[in-house]
Each structure stands twice: as C-alpha cells, then as structure tokens.
Amino acid sequence: MTKSEAKIFFPFTEGDDLEELWEQRFFEQKQFFLTRPPMEKVFKSRIAKLLKQYDAYLLLGGEAVKNAPVNLEEKIVFSESVLASYRLFHNYRNAFKSKVLQVQHPENLSQVIEAWTAMEKEYHKLWSNEESKMNEVQVTLSKEPDPMEVLKAIKEVGGEELVFSDLHSRYALLPEILQNEVKRLTLLSEKETLDFRQ
C-alpha cells in the first residue's frame, strides 16, 4: 500500500492526532459489532475494512497498538433442549460482546468476530427446518424477535422438555413467533452456507 492509498483508507486532515483518530474509528467499529445482529458476511467485510484502515494508519505514521492475546478457548456446546440452548446462546453472545469491548487491537477483534460468527452458525443449524420455508410469512434475516417473547413461547410449548426434533416434527403446531424464528434461522443458516461456498 502506498501513502496515497493509505490516505484513502485512513483519511485525515493536517493537524489531526492520528492515534486519537484511530481510537475513535476503532471504537465506532466495535459499536457497530455490538449493536447489529451478527451477519457473518457483513461482519467479515467490516473486519477486512478495519484491518486495511489499521495498515494505512501505521503506514501514515500511527503508533502500533499493543496486541494482547484473547482467550477464545471455551468450547461451544449446545444442548438438545431448545430452552437450554437458547439460554446458552445468549450467554455465549454476551461473552463475545464482552470480549469485543475488551480487545484493543484489530487482529484480536478479528479473532473474536470469527469465533462469534462460528458460534452463531452452529446455533442457527440447530433450528434449521426445510418445512419452515413453505411458510408464506415474510421474515427479515437481520431482524431478531424480542428474546423475552421467544423465551416465553419456548416455555409455553414445552420448556426444558422441548427438543429441536420437536421443532421439526411439530412445526405447524408451534406458536407463530417460534414458526417465524425457525424460518428466519433456517434461511439464515442456508445463506451462511451459500456465502461460505462462494
């Protein structure tokens, strides 16, 4: 990357404090990850752009940020129970959000986002059901339902005893909110699989 290319990726005006500008842009990207539903393709695109911005920042004379290792060793394991997995999913997601807040280097953030989106994909696969695609209701992939409403519906349908195979075998009998969530996560899982192949 040349200096003129670096100025495209990391625009600034004379007199700007590069370190302060980098910290502000890094913070803005972290806020994006914390406030948007995790969509792998979107998140990876943002990370790629952020890494280019960091390279440009360094090339323009910015001071390197300390790269501290991030602990991502926790094994992600979901249960057959829909309720237990739903709770675990939100616990894992909150843990990843906490790590996003902690990291200070774009490479570390990239590792966190990679692990986070992998966890999301595993969770989406659990809900996947071909029958749900026949449901004519329109769902927006990036619009998550109210977690408390989903939790309430899971408890009403079967609580701890409700397993993912029940979501498949009794799909037509599920409350509307669960039918919609099954369809949304099925389509999301399909999209992620297609994106991965490309």
pLDDT at 43: 96
Any idea what the Cα angle at residue 193 is, between residues 182 and 110, rounded to 5°? 105
Q: Report CA 135 to chain centroid distance, whole Å.
A: 26
- Residue 143 structural domain: 3-197
pLDDT at 102: 94
Closest to 25 in 3D by CA, of 13, 12, 35: 12
List of the chain residues with pLDDT < 50: 198
Please name every residue paired with 163 in a beta bridge, in sequence order, or none if there are none. 81
Are 63 and 19 in contact by the 8 Å Cβ rule? The answer is: yes
pLDDT at 196: 52
Say how far apart CA 187 and CA 182 lie, in whole Å.
9
Going by C-beta distance under 8 Å and a sequence separation of 6 or more, which residues neighbour residue 85?
78, 79, 123, 126, 164
pLDDT at 171: 92
Give the pTM. 0.89
Please name every residue paired with 81 in a beta bridge, in sequence order, or none if there are none. 163
Are 112 and 153 in contact by the 8 Å Cβ rule? The answer is: no
Say how far apart CA 161 and CA 163 lie, in whole Å.
6
Count of domains forming the chain:
1
